[in-house]
Structures are given as structure tokens and as C-alpha cells.
Amino acid sequence: MFRPSTRHNIPSSSSNPALEVKLNKRNSGINTSNNGGGPSSRYPYRLNFYERPPTLDITLEEFETFAIARLRVLSQIEALSHRSLPFTQLQQSITNYSKQHLLLSSNTARNVNLDEERRKDEISHWVLRLSFCRSPDLRARFIRSELALFKNRFETDDINERSNFLKSLEFDWQIVDESEKSRYEKELRSCMWGNKDDAFKNESWFKVLWYTVPDLVGSRRVFIRAGMAYVPQSLQISLVLQAFASRLEKALELTAKNLPRLDEDDRLGPVIDHLASSFLSGVASSDYQSPDGDSSGALVTAEMVDDVARKHFPPCMRNLYDRLKKDHHLKHFGRLQLGLFLKGIGLPLDEAVVFWRRMFGATMSDDKFNKEYKYNIRHSYGQEGKRTNYPPKSCQQILTQNQPGTQDSHGCPFRHFSPDNLINFLSSTYPSIDKSSNEMRDILDSVKSTHYHVACTRVFEITHGIKKGDGIGENNEPVTHPNKWVDRSRELEKEVIDRIKKNEISDEMMIDA
């Protein structure tokens, strides 16, 4: 387990070398000579059961950035798994997202640094173990996501490399010999798809304890005799996944017992807590970056806000804006959440001052507005105080920070509204979502399972005529930031306008002809 020292190193525990991981602030000492492809000397296989912790130096920056990269992938996997995507679409989305954030190439890949890729993969896994070992619920969610990632890698791995990896694990599977295969031919054939002689002749079988493959037993895809399940080679992945999950579960329980040793380290504790809260909120997003050179990121004036709100605001910001219109006032955190959001969609400082003064209306004098509110508006734009240019709040921040009280309006409707209030709010704000519709039930089911970002994404799909599961961007991404909702909504509107203009020009050309 991690243990700090005066040299900012964290040496391994002598009592438990299986938990050894070293960190320091120096550059990593790993040999990265493998830059031109080919098998890695340190990591011979792309697949990994993560049974031995990395006994190498890890910088504090790598500790966090590697873990965040993996967290993005696992959060995406969990979001995708709750959106009823077809299997092929699900696997393709996982593959594409993994390539973007946690690339892991096979030994046959060229011009890649296999050592560095696999080192990042290994370190990120072990760091996240520290974050997700602390409760049964976190462990279960972590195992499910890691299992889906491993399955995706297993099925996309090079056949020969995968075979060599499995041999290295030395599973205690019993191979069914030809005489036993002939003795139970009728029963074994009944477990196979089709009944072709060549398929049965070429198939090999393993014997394992029946309770190690519950998924195959439940679907009646194996023959069971004397407590042993006969598993065909074609279903080998079920054996591998069960072994991966059971070993990871035991390892997480062991890590949880040793986790208190980290309490004394004020460098790693906040990072680990942040990773866990990010996973619980379903996102691991960085600060929002507004798009450049695109009409979706165009300037917004105070006059335009009402129209943009009606067309493009996500539920959290629509709720704040409607309350502001109704009450002509928002409490501090509500003003901060909405103000930074408006800044992100393109409302400049001078227009922001005009907007807020207008929204407060006659309930406030100009003198009071200038004394009590104008400074805070300028401060959020980096023109006062420390002159920090604050970014808009992400979904993660809205879900986990500054929890709203009974009189507050900020926060996330999916998390902070009661079910009845949420139903009434969605049905009145978005007429396309009926109270008794299947879509509303989908949303409420996601909320009940605390997948608030999935519920928000479903609202976006319904209100924008997008097929269920497509999300708001590439790789079926869910909503992770209110401003990304707006950007995508405005992009879709622009596509519709461009299509209409194109059709009008085409019609005019036909008339002229």
C-alpha cells in the first residue's frame, strides 16, 4: 500500500509485497526503449489480469492523470451499459473511446511505444483500485466496468497473442479427452448452436466447477455432470471473465483492508476522494472549452438569452432561468451556476451586466445592483479580485458541490428534485415528454439507479429527435457538461437550417432551369 516518506517516495510495504507501488516526484525510471513496436520486454501481453502491482517509480502527476484517463473510459462504459445499445454498437463505442483516452495496442502494432501504453494502463488500474475499494457498491460498479473493458480487449485482441496470454495464466481447467467426448456426445451436441458434424468434431471442451460459469448455466449452454460443467472452446471467454472478476473482487477486498494506511498522506487522499466522487457522478470531465470558429460558439447578447434558453438550455439551467424570470432573483450559488454557464455559451461581460440588471427588474434599484451584484459578475469573468477566468461548472461539480437547500434553485434536477417534482418539471418544460410515456419511465429508471447523466442524455435525445443511445456526440457520449448540451443543440439546429437553405437553393435552380 502507499506510504509516504521524507523523500516524497512511497515505498512498498514489507509486510505485503503484493500491494507494492512506488511514487515520487522525479521522472519515471521506466525503460521506454520500445518505441518502434514489437513485443514489450516488460509487458509481453496486451491483456492483463493485474495480479502484480507495478514496482516502479510513479510521479504524482502520473498518479492522477493516468487514473483520470481510465476513469473517463470506465464512466463511459457504465453510461453506455445503461442505455440499451445493440451489442455491436456498444462494443464499437467502447473501442473508439478507449483509443481516444487509454490506447492499448497489440504486439503486432507498429510505431507505438508498447511499454508506455501498458505502463499507463497498469498504473491507472491500480490507482483506481484505491478509490473504489472502500464500499461494496463502489467495488461492484468498478468490477462491472473493468470486466466490460477487459471483454472488449479480449475480443479485439490478436488471436495468437490472446492464446499465449491464457497459457501464461495456467488455469486449472480440465481438458475433456476424446473418449469422454464420445461418451457424452449427445449431451454435448445439444449445447451447441446447430448440429453439424464438423463443428462438433473440431470443438474442444473443458471441465470446470459448475458455479464458476453461472451465466452459461443460467442460459443452459453447458452440460453439467457430477458438479462439473462442460464448456466448449467457443465459450471460453465466459471462463476467462469469471476468473478475472473473482480475482479482482478478492483483490479489492484486500485493498480495502489496507486503505487506512493512506489516511496519513495528504497528497494522495484528496486525489483518491476526487476520483471516487467523479465515478459516482458518472463523469470525469475536464474544464469546459468553448468551440472556436463555429457558429455554435457565436456571441450571445442579453436580448438573445430568452430565445436560446427556450431552444437549447439543459434542464438544470432551464430551471434556474425560469426561476429567475419568475422571482427576479436567485441565491448566490444559483447566480454563480447560471452566470458561468451563460459566460460559456458566449455572453460577454458587458452583456452579462445588462442581462442580470434586466432580470432583477424593478425589485432592485440601480444603486443596490451596482453595489451588491455587479462586482460578483465582473469577478466571475476574471475582471476583479484574483482575476481568475472561472470556467462553467461541469455536471460533476453541480452534482457534488454546494448541495442545494430547500430554498435554493441550483443543482441538478435529476438528483435534487423529488420524483413528482421532476415529472412535473420535465413534462411542463419539454412538451415532447409525456408524464405517462415510456420515455419518462426510462428517465425515472436512470434516476432511481443514480445514473443522472444517463437520464439527462435521454432527455436530450427525446427533445432533439435523436435515436435512443446515440447521445450528444461521437462514440455515443452522454451529457457531462451543461455547455456541451448547448453546443450540440446549436450544432443540430445549424444542420437543419443549412439543410433547408440547401433545399431552397436547389428548388430555385430547378425553377430557373
Feature table: binding site for [4Fe-4S] cluster: 316, 395, 412, 456
Cα–Cα distance between 172 and 409 in angstroms, integer? Answer: 58
Beta bridge partners of 207: 174, 230
Q: Which amino acid is at 63?
A: F
* Beta strand extents in 201-358 (DSSP E only): 205-209, 223-225, 228-232
SS3 395: helix
CA distances from 1 to 187, 260, 262 (A): 49, 9, 8
| C-beta of residue 415 within 8 angstroms of C-beta of residue 395 | no
Residues 6+ apart with CB under 8 A from 163: none
CA distances from 153 to 104, 138, 227 (A): 9, 23, 31
Which run of H or of E encompasses 66?
helix 60-81
Q: Which amino acid is at 303?
A: E
Binding-site residue numbers are: 316, 395, 412, 456
Q: Phi, psi at residue 359, to the nearest 5°? A: -70, -30
Question: How many residues make up the chain in this entry?
Answer: 513
Residues 6+ apart with CB under 8 A from 336: 376, 380, 393, 410
Cα–Cα distance between 280 and 249 in angstroms, integer? Answer: 19
Residues 6+ apart with CB under 8 A from 450: 280, 415
Angle (CA) 457-458-464 rounded to 5° is 90
Cα–Cα distance between 164 and 47 in angstroms, integer? Answer: 10
Return the residue matching grid coordinates 425589485.
Answer: 363
Residues 6+ apart with CB under 8 A from 386: none
CA 429 vs. chain centroid, Å, equals 28
Closest CA to 21 of 216, 206, 240, 268: 268
CA distances from 250 to 71, 139, 433 (A): 21, 10, 44
Greatest alpha-carbon span in the chain: 95
Return the residue matching grid coordinates 436547389.
Answer: 506
| C-beta of residue 477 within 8 angstroms of C-beta of residue 470 | no
Cα–Cα distance between 318 and 296 in angstroms, integer? Answer: 18
Concatenating the DSSP letter of every residue in 446-498 gives HHHTT-HHHHHHHHHHHHTTPPTT--SSGGG-----HHHHHHHHHHHHHHHHH
